[in-house]
Amino acid sequence: AVTVEQHQATATPLVVAHRGASDEEAEHTLRAYRKAFAHGADGVECDVRLTADHHLVCVHDRRVERTSNGAGVVSTLELARLEELDWASWKTRPEDLEAPDSDPERARLLTLRRLLATIVEEGGEPIVLVETKHPTRHGDDVEKTLVQVLRSFDLDRGDRPGRPRVRVMSFSARALQRVHKLSPQVPLVHLVSAKGPSLPLDGTLPKGVGVVGLDIALVRRKPKLVRKFRKHGHGVFVWTVDETADLDLCRELGVDVVITNRPRRAIDRFAAG
């Protein structure tokens, strides 16, 4: 079988929806994820943060203001408080909708557990990229909790037929090392930002890490990086690939996975050949 990391050899890049179909629905809501799969995405990406009472929730920012109607820092708030907030109206206000929307999932906070439970229940082998945002106040509790959650869904033993294909991603080599030590079979992705690469960019990756996750801004500037990492036997994922020209560039370069806010556009573009 072709693995996620060898996909480029066979066809176009696989499409992973960044925070769900976040161009259409509020990011990190179950609806955004369901929509991505309905469009035919190969997988989804989510960010996770630890609450004050040690639950992993799917939230990108350190604070809740941008994507909810609450205030404060995620890691200082308890799950019950976060669950009370509205996580969708910042994107689509109920009064702007053509028809009343009574879907209880519309504005609900998503926990990693609920996301994984939904994906496992749907079946198949979707790619699930979980990015740890590791607030330092928690020490290594983020990674410990993440491994426990993956284990509870039997998703910590690498790729297996009929099961979601989970990868843990981080910009922090230390965070990835911790995951590797706790659970050596979980595939890891080292993220690299164009703003300040956290790696030497010579094509090598830290021990136990099989994939590099490159910022599209870096790929535009240094497209040869893709070949360099491939030559060392590593998979190459690129984020966040929303523009048509960037999708074409990733296809030309033989990128394995594009992570995009616009899964429908990416799927249509790649299908058009």
| Site residues for ligand G3P per CB under 6 A | 18, 45, 47, 60, 131, 191, 213, 239, 259
Residue 240: which residues within 8 A CB-CB, separation 6 or more?
Answer: 18, 216, 259, 260, 261
In the complex with ligand G3P, the residue whose CB is nearer, 176 or 191, is 191
230, interface contact from Ca ion, ligand G3P, none, CB < 5-8 Å by kind: none
Give min distance, CB of 145 to Ca ion, in A: 18
Helical H runs in 170-262? 173-182, 216-221, 224-231, 244-253
In the complex with ligand G3P, the residue whose CB is nearer, 151 or 243, is 243
**Is the preceding omega at residue 240 within 30 degrees of 0, hence cis?**
yes
213, interface contact from ligand G3P, Ca ion, none, CB < 5-8 Å by kind: ligand G3P
Q: Which residues bind Ca ion (CB under 5 A)?
A: 47, 131
| Alpha-carbon 27 to chain mean position | 11
Name the residue number minimizing CB distance to Ca ion: 131
CA–CA gap between residue 224 and residue 217 (Å, rounded): 13
* Two tokens, residue 181: 């030590």
CA–CA gap between residue 273 and residue 266 (Å, rounded): 11
Radius of gyration of the chain (CA): 18
156, interface contact from ligand G3P, Ca ion, none, CB < 5-8 Å by kind: none
Q: Which of 7, 18, 39, 234 is catalytic?
A: 18
Whether 60 is catalytic is: yes
Give min distance, CB of 10 to Ca ion, in A: 26
Inter-residue contact 203 to 181 (CB < 8 Å): no
Give min distance, CB of 191 to ligand G3P, in A: 5
Q: Which of 60, 134, 190, 234 is catalytic?
A: 60
In the complex with ligand G3P, the residue whose CB is nearer, 25 or 131, is 131
In the complex with Ca ion, the residue whose CB is nearer, 47 or 256, is 47
Q: Are strands 56-57 and 43-50 parallel, antiparallel or unpaired?
A: antiparallel
The single-letter DSSP state of residue 190 is E
Give min distance, CB of 131 to Ca ion, in A: 4
Catalytic residue list: 18, 60
